[in-house]
Structure 1
């Protein structure tokens, strides 16, 4: 199936669903129009009630078999998948460029991360264990022994977003399988073929069909799966409003929600301003800003504001905008024209309120020009809401407590960046900023896949990274041995 999906020269890629151990393409189908090429590039079957029912029944019956697969066997499969991802790097990157308009250089980076993520999942599968509990430390425990181990939940649901469909699926599905679960994957409608390719890659690496199923469709498919009683854990990445709907549909299920962001980076007066500007320009427009930790706001100390803005504008203007399949392209298209229009509209609204649009503010179809909005008012949409696009707002600040307060006033709290040489500022910001992570001498847009990642407030809860996800994908089971003690039984 992977070879079929990645077959070169095919005008429209067939993105099959995987239901009950069988790849299917028949039934009602939806087409994905590539945002840059502006023609259909992939086609996927839309799940209906019968497919959803079949997936639920198969997952319920398959869960015990998957749980009996040893951690060593799971790890070996994930290691083979890691090698296969690396071997298919260029073809998968081209597919991302077609379906999403993501520059092929960014797509290659995402597939490199897929390979890393599978390797990390394999390592974590080998580490799953438990504890011998110190029950004899309290009088009532004397004469007894207790142990724990981490057991698979059974059935998990992975709902993935369009902006990084390969690597975020690798996190969710890889960690779930490492933990010994069977997983139902609900793919984003914007990336059906890329999602099918990652699932096919795992299956061809040896993942049992019992361990994974894949459905395509819109929000109604996701809602039906969230409500399924067979599902024990839901891992969702997407908009905060959709996350609320997931929680309502799920009911009393364990949730891992990685939701929206409005990430800010602080540039202090002691920073290397030219380097900070270069990093913010590179990471503010990667994937056209379509990342929950993309640099959306940069707060620069007033004494360095003009200097930073000059360097930043120059670096952003030097980015190559164009065909995402060209290895030299830095900024491709956004996911669709509606998203690109949001960049244009919000920058124009900020200008009407007194801001300066220093660069960009235009689009060609779904391709938004890298846009810089200088000194927008504090209530502008580019400051208060998640633009999720190729736009960065640059603002001045005077004192550190002031800028920390401005960041904390927002509804999101995923990740922030800080450029400074002052260790006291680092510790203060780490302590006082209401975010899940702080990147020092880097922008907000940096992530290591083996490090915990997640937010606070409306940015969600739970942490995405294989080690921490495995904790969410497993349950602690306790064994108590009455009358038998490892510790001695004299009171």
Structure 2
């Protein structure tokens, strides 16, 4: 039986510290305090950044095998603590236990990928003798760590989205300070506990610091930090970019992802995947399936299939293995989305399923023909609601996908390769998934968005590129 401790520390310059127990973290299903952890003050954050600056040179000099060994150690320890990590995630995020176990598996995958990439940080030889003046010259370049990094991770994937910052930083040799989401800090704290077991990491290599938003400006504005990587809401992310100064900024923000179901699609397969993409972990994913655009020839059939399936989804305590729909992260967020649903219905949308609310538990909801200007269509729902519409022309369907200020990922269910290639050319999104949903992600692929969905790409190798700089070398051969 897994049992959480009553209190947890923060990690300052590789070491556990318990300056206070000011942050109370609730069980998202019961609403009761599950544990308390330390909250970093500005002085602690400043000390952590100073430690990261001191650690930058020794971190950069770690051998590739040493960085790989640290990451392999993490993989082994996460495997040993699998049940603890999954249970912690279930409690602090309200994530159904099966989804929590899936996220722990992805956490392990991400660190395993990083362990492999730690020994693949290649450069290039470049001929320079492109004209007479450069005869006898040759060039080469390598990648070097950018220096101390600042990471801010979100509540919805508190393990794997933190891993997508931490693991590449270790692989490339960057010290970092991390602010995990205050509602879900425990996953990152456990990662800190595992990293603290690695003596090869120089003091200051990492700090993991839960902090209130009011006290956390240093994560963004401090010029000693060379990169800010933020995952969260667009409003917060773009505001942080405006404050970040000269440092490089990577933003993984929101979306209102669309999926197109063409008339030749395997409807049973599309149904299963759209149910997953629209409602897993209560829709609290930036690539959750929010808009489903179905060809008119199969629309009525597919709509009826969706209605029947949504009505069978089991909601309740996320600790029960049968539960598919757990609570949203807070009652406030559930009420916000309930208001959006009611406004859409008031504007002419048809409520096909769900719509009920009790505390933080919002029923899996399916809407039809919501007004184009409604929040459930235009904004990021970040909850268990899917909106149906129909199309007759493939080009018009792609235009509807693009009719959004977001552009993270899109899903297509079609057997026509020509339509796939047209979508690849025309869709203004960071990624397209064919015969699956927008919610699909493998942790070594480039992942990120355009428009209001962000800047840059994650996926271990691509994050490592952002966390490094090219250093050129030119050699004149003596004649």
Band of TM-score, shorter chain: over 0.9
**Partner of 2:193: helix, strand, or coil?**
helix
2:111 to 118, 128, 144: 118
| 1:340 equivalent in alignment to 2:334 | yes
| 1:78 equivalent in alignment to 2:56 | no
Please say if residues 151 and 219 of structure 2, whose CA atoms lie closer than 8 Å, have aligned partners that are also in contact: no
Task: Give the whole-Å Cα distance in 2 for the aligned partners of 1:380 and 1:239.
Answer: 19
1:93 to 86, 89, 108: 86
Which residue of structure 2 aligns with residue 269 of structure 1? 263
Please say if residues 43 and 192 of structure 1, whose CA atoms lie closer than 8 Å, have aligned partners that are also in contact: no
1:48 to 41, 45, 52: 41
Task: Give the whole-Å Cα distance in 2 for the aligned partners of 1:393 and 1:348.
Answer: 13
Which residue of structure 2 aligns with residue 243 of structure 1? 237
Within 5 A, what are the aligned runs for 1:258-297?
A: 258-297=252-291
**Partner of 2:418: helix, strand, or coil?**
helix
Task: Give the whole-Å Cα distance in 2 for the aligned partners of 1:364 and 1:15.
Answer: 31
Distance change >3 Å, CA 205–CA 81, structure 1 → 2: farther
Within 5 A, what are the aligned runs for 1:92-491?
A: 92-204=85-197, 208=201, 209-484=203-478
Q: Deviations over 1:270-320 (max 9, x none)?
A: 111222122101221111000000001100111211111111122222221
Task: Give the whole-Å Cα distance in 2 for the aligned partners of 1:55 and 1:186.
Answer: 11
Which residue of structure 2 aligns with residue 4 of structure 1? none
Please say if residues 48 and 204 of structure 2, whose CA atoms lie closer than 8 Å, have aligned partners that are also in contact: no
**Partner of 1:480: helix, strand, or coil?**
strand
Please say if residues 7 and 35 of structure 2, whose CA atoms lie closer than 8 Å, have aligned partners that are also in contact: yes
Greater CA drift, 412-421 or 249-258: 249-258
Distance change >3 Å, CA 334–CA 136, structure 1 → 2: same
Please say if residues 243 and 257 of structure 1, whose CA atoms lie closer than 8 Å, have aligned partners that are also in contact: yes
Q: TM-score, normalised by structure 1?
A: 0.94
Q: In the TM superposition, what is the alpha-carbon distance from 1:38 to its structure 2 partner?
A: 1.1
Please say if residues 78 and 205 of structure 1, whose CA atoms lie closer than 8 Å, have aligned partners that are also in contact: no
Q: In the TM superposition, what is the alpha-carbon distance from 1:423 to its structure 2 partner?
A: 0.8
Task: Give the whole-Å Cα distance in 2 for the aligned partners of 1:8 and 1:277.
Answer: 35
**Partner of 1:379: helix, strand, or coil?**
coil
Runs of 4+ aligned structure 1 residues displaced above 3 Å come to 7-10
Distance change >3 Å, CA 326–CA 211, structure 1 → 2: same
Please say if residues 15 and 192 of structure 1, whose CA atoms lie closer than 8 Å, have aligned partners that are also in contact: no
Please say if residues 184 and 213 of structure 1, whose CA atoms lie closer than 8 Å, have aligned partners that are also in contact: yes
RMSD: 1.5
Task: Give the whole-Å Cα distance in 2 for the aligned partners of 1:335 and 1:120.
Answer: 30
Q: Deviations over 1:27-61 (max 9, x none)?
A: 36121122202101121222212112211211111
Number of equivalent positions:
478
Task: Give the whole-Å Cα distance in 2 for the aligned partners of 1:319 and 1:54.
Answer: 48
Note the residue ranges of structure 2 that are not aligned, 5 or more in a row: none
Q: Deviations over 1:320-350 (max 9, x none)?
A: 1111111221111110001111232111111
Within 5 A, what are the aligned runs for 1:2-81?
A: 8-10=2-4, 13-27=6-20, 29-81=22-74
Please say if residues 316 and 323 of structure 2, whose CA atoms lie closer than 8 Å, have aligned partners that are also in contact: yes
Distance change >3 Å, CA 270–CA 103, structure 1 → 2: same
Distance change >3 Å, CA 272–CA 206, structure 1 → 2: farther
Please say if residues 65 and 210 of structure 1, whose CA atoms lie closer than 8 Å, have aligned partners that are also in contact: no
Distance change >3 Å, CA 207–CA 333, structure 1 → 2: farther
**Partner of 1:191: helix, strand, or coil?**
coil
Q: Deviations over 1:169-205 (max 9, x none)?
A: 1110100110011011111001111220122223335
Task: Give the whole-Å Cα distance in 2 for the aligned partners of 1:341 and 1:207.
Answer: 48
Q: In the TM superposition, what is the alpha-carbon distance from 1:396 to its structure 2 partner?
A: 1.1
Task: Give the whole-Å Cα distance in 1 for the aligned partners of 2:243 and 2:175.
Answer: 20
Q: TM-score, normalised by structure 2?
A: 0.97
Task: Give the whole-Å Cα distance in 2 for the aligned partners of 1:205 and 1:23.
Answer: 13
